[in-house]
Amino acid sequence: MKLDNLLIELLTEELPPKSQKQLGITFAKSIKEFLIKQNLSTEASEASVFSTPRRIGIHLKNVKDIAEDQNTSVKLMPVSVGFDTNQKPTEALLKKLSAIGLDEKAINRVIKKNENNVDVLYIDKNIEGTKLKDIISECISSSLTRLPIKKMMSYQLSDGWTTANFVRPVHGLIVLHGSDIVHANVLGIKSNRTTLGHRFETTKDIIEIKHADQYVSQMKTEGSVIVLFEERKALIKNGLNKKAAALSNELTPIDDEELLEEVTSLVEHPNILVGKFESKFLEIPQECLILTMKANQKYFPLIDKNKKLANQFLIVSNISPKNTDLIVQGNEKVIRPRLSDAEFFFTQDRKKPLKEYLSQLAHIVYHNKLGSQSDRASRVKIIASLIVKTLNQSKLLDATLLASDLSKADLSTNMVGEFPELQGIMGRYYALNENISEEVAFAIEDHYKPRFSGDTLPRSTVGDIVAIADKIETLIGLFSIGEKPSGDKDPFALRRQAIGIIRILIEKNIDLNLNTIISESIRATQLSESKDLNPFIYDRLSNFLKEQGYAALNIEAVLAIESGQINEIPKRLNAIKEFLLLPESKDLASANKRVGNILKKADLKTTLKINCSLLKDEAEISLHKTLDAVDAEARKQYQAKDYSGSLKLLCKLKNPIDQFFNDVMVNVEDESLKMNRLALLEKLYSAMNLVADLSKLSS
């Protein structure tokens, strides 16, 4: 057996940049997992992942060329099937032995084992260790089938007849175990030790890899290719920062991880250059310029310490000629007409006020079952007015209605038509251009917030209201027509909409009952009610709270009381956390669970009233007296939102509850006495579960 490091490189045509990194990671992971199953590698073996525009691969340490033999016990069949009445081996047994590579002579090695009172036949068999050379083709091929490829490409192999399917045509395959070639045939390509370097910068036409361990260094020195994705990414990031600092100590490249990853996937040997555009274009909203440079050209815009855009940008080139002037001039030439287009759109859009764009919304379909964007904006306006009324914010009504009216207006503009990512942002600029108040202008932009995880929230109460209204409209509308998420599919980003509402309510501490406002919104907009909507929102809420570090049992206990006051839930959770530190908490939680079970079995149809004259036993009289005092005070604390104080008062009930269950029988034959005691427990259960369902905390 030989232990050495394994190199696999698949040379392709240019891979899709947005998925290239993940292709490399998944390929390497699948290769390692396959070899571990074959006992040729272990979890402890270190793996390096390679991915560039033209290749994916892996360097895996400590791989065996032959696995150790395995001595294993093979289950054959029941004795009654393997031997006939004369104790002769049956045809079934002989066939089974033949199937595992043994003949009739192995009958003597068959043993019996009793399993669940049935005698079963087993045989010990020595299984030869797997050879790397025998399984490497299957290993690579099966790993390729597991790659996250949305759309395959069909192409002809060099013989002109055979068709292969992969994300891009494959032109080379290296498989080296140390310095030895391991022969494989994948997608019609036979493995060897040669590959290609950088298309323009390579120092050799063909690069011959001498040893698996020399691949990274040879590709860098001979092929001018940095094969490690993270190394290339770090090189680009450092290069961008250095180049920006060289221009001015006040300039920094825009921080965009997604753009950085994509650009890393576009180059094999990065070279950072500086481009420039006319300063007149800075009169255009900088979001337009930044988006144009990032999305269309993959440039890195430069911003100053005040977050203002400079008229310079950074280019990540894949070539490093001595004279870079032509590259820079070419990039500047390409960006200029795009900026001119943005300038034209901005100028044209401002020629009429936002309200004149509203009529065009009727021609933009939102959903074929929910009407146009105009219909949608009308529903948002209705819901926003309900929220204003609920929050007693009548002074904000006019601003909220105007913001709701204009919230979707910019969807009809030229700029948003060209750059949909700017919806809301352009609405703010156009609103400010016609001297609409900042409160309304910012609400037009902010009603989409939060757009993504970690995004900022609306900047004003009007923005909060319109944002919540917009998200509620989206949820109730799409749930009403059955367009709800399933599994990992969420085409309308409804999970994000629900989390957006939750974040605004909690982080802004908005005292809005979500259950009530959703019900009122459904009635007011005349949309169909969905029984799945509330569970969906509370499931998102539960996940959100877990991510915030709250304990799962505490969350379950608090959410069991569906009060709808989402902003109060973190305070309740903190109160539960304090309550659980009290010595009485465990017994109170258990008692609550017991009370709940008794009431559940009783299956009461209506709320019962306690008849004090029927309280005969000293224990029930004591519980009733203590409960009256505690319940009244606990509810006061609860109404004052002192949830911790409300829970602490319950500790006074511990001894009376213990005494009650020790001395009093609830289910007695006297029906009136039984119902009175159930009424007492019903009141106790209600008092104990104001803040949370304490029974959920009982182990």
- Cβ distance 314 to 300 under 8 Å? yes
Measuring CA to CA, which residue among 672, 686, 682, 659 is closest to residue 615? 672
- Cβ distance 469 to 380 under 8 Å? yes
- For tokens 């029906």, the residue is 671
Question: Is residue 562 over pLDDT 90?
Answer: no
- Report the pLDDT averaged over residues 595-606: 86
Question: Is residue 97 over pLDDT 90?
Answer: no
pLDDT value, residue 699:
66
- For tokens 């068709």, the residue is 163
Query: Which strands sit side by side in the sheet containing 111-115, from one edge to the other?
Result: 70-78, 118-127, 111-115
Q: What is the pLDDT of residues 131-171, one digit of tens each?
A: 999 999 999 999 999 999 988 999 998 888 889 999 999 99
- Cβ distance 396 to 403 under 8 Å? no
- Report the pLDDT averaged over residues 394-408: 96
pLDDT value, residue 487:
82
Helices (H), 88-183: 91-99, 132-145
Confidence band of 572 (pLDDT split at 50, 70, 90): very high
CA angle 541, 544, 550 (to 5 degrees): 105
pLDDT value, residue 231:
97
Burial class (CB in 10 A: 0-12, 13-18, 19+), 79: middle
Q: What percent of the chain has pLDDT over 70?
A: 100
Task: Detail the DSSP E strand segments found in 318-412.
Answer: 365-367, 371-372
Q: What is the pLDDT of residues 323-333, one digit of tens each?
A: 999 999 999 99
- For tokens 């991880």, the residue is 257
Q: What is the pLDDT of residues 341-397, one digit of tens each?
A: 999 999 999 999 999 999 999 999 999 999 999 999 999 999 999 999 999 999 999
- Cβ distance 697 to 585 under 8 Å? yes
SS3 for 326? helix
Please, how many CA atoms are within 13 Å of residue 506, restricted to the half-sphere of its CB?
A: 16
User: CA end-to-end span of the chain, whole Å?
Assistant: 54
pLDDT value, residue 655:
94
The set of residues, in sequence order, having a beta carbon less than 8 Å from that of 38 and lying 6+ positions away, is 67, 130, 135, 139
Q: What are the φ/ψ torsions at residue 412 (nearest 5 degrees)?
A: -90, 0
The region, left, alpha or beta by phi > 0 then psi within -120 to 50, assigned to residue 190 is: beta
CA 674, CA 2: separation in Å to the nearest integer? 81
Measuring CA to CA, which residue among 245, 352, 349 is closest to residue 288? 349
Measuring CA to CA, which residue among 685, 699, 562 is closest to residue 623? 685
- For tokens 């292709």, the residue is 23
pLDDT value, residue 647:
95
- Tell whether omega for the bond before 285 is within 30 degrees of 0, i.e. cis: no
Question: Is residue 605 over pLDDT 80?
Answer: no
CA 465, CA 376: separation in Å to the nearest integer? 16
Domains 354-549 and 573-697 share a fold: no
Identify the H or E element spanning 165.
strand 163-166
- Cβ distance 396 to 462 under 8 Å? yes
Q: What is the pLDDT of residues 421-466, one digit of tens each?
A: 999 999 999 999 999 999 999 999 999 999 998 899 999 999 999 9
CA 28, CA 26: separation in Å to the nearest integer? 6
Q: What is the pLDDT of residues 24-69, one digit of tens each?
A: 999 999 999 999 999 999 999 999 999 999 999 999 999 999 998 8
Q: What are the φ/ψ torsions at residue 177 (nearest 5 degrees)?
A: -110, 100
C-alpha 580: how far from chain center: 32
Class of domain 354-549: mainly alpha
Question: Is residue 2 over pLDDT 70?
Answer: yes
Tokens of residue 338, six digits: 């795009």
SS3 for 489? strand
pLDDT value, residue 125:
83
- Report the pLDDT averaged over residues 414-423: 94
- Report the pLDDT averaged over residues 169-181: 97
Measuring CA to CA, which residue among 371, 377, 384 is closest to residue 354? 377
Q: How many CB atoms lie within 10 A of CB 299?
A: 26
- Report the pLDDT averaged over residues 408-417: 96
CATH of domain 573-697: 1.10.730
- Cβ distance 239 to 272 under 8 Å? yes
Q: Where are the domains of the chain?
A: 3-67+131-221, 70-127, 229-349, 354-549, 573-697
Q: What is the pLDDT of residues 472-525, one digit of tens each?
A: 999 999 999 999 998 888 999 999 999 999 999 999 999 999 999 999 999 999
Q: At what angle do helices 654-663 and 618-639 cross, to 10 degrees?
A: 150
CA 152, CA 157: separation in Å to the nearest integer? 15
Tokens of residue 346, six digits: 């901005």
Confidence band of 684 (pLDDT split at 50, 70, 90): very high
Tokens of residue 604, six digits: 């009461």
Q: What is the pLDDT of residues 270-307, one digit of tens each?
A: 999 999 999 999 999 999 999 999 988 999 999 999 99
pLDDT value, residue 300:
97
Q: What is the pLDDT of residues 632-672, one digit of tens each?
A: 999 999 999 999 999 999 999 999 999 999 998 888 888 89
Identify the H or E element spanning 523.
helix 514-525
**DSSP, res 616:** -
CA angle 116, 118, 122 (to 5 degrees): 105
Maximum average pLDDT range among 64-78, 102-116, 540-554, 612-626 = 540-554
SS3 for 26? helix
Instruction: State the virtual CA torsion across 602, 608, 611, 612 in degrees, nearest 10.
Output: 90
CA 350, CA 344: separation in Å to the nearest integer? 10
Q: What are the φ/ψ torsions at residue 54 (nearest 5 degrees)?
A: -120, 10
Class of domain 3-67+131-221: alpha beta
pLDDT value, residue 70:
80
Question: Is residue 526 over pLDDT 80?
Answer: yes
**DSSP, res 303:** E
Q: Burial code of 188-223, b = ≥16 C-beta within 10 A, e = fewer?
A: ebebbbebbbbeebbeeeebebebbbebbebbbebb
**DSSP, res 641:** T
Q: What is the mean pLDDT of the chain?
A: 94
SS3 for 62? strand
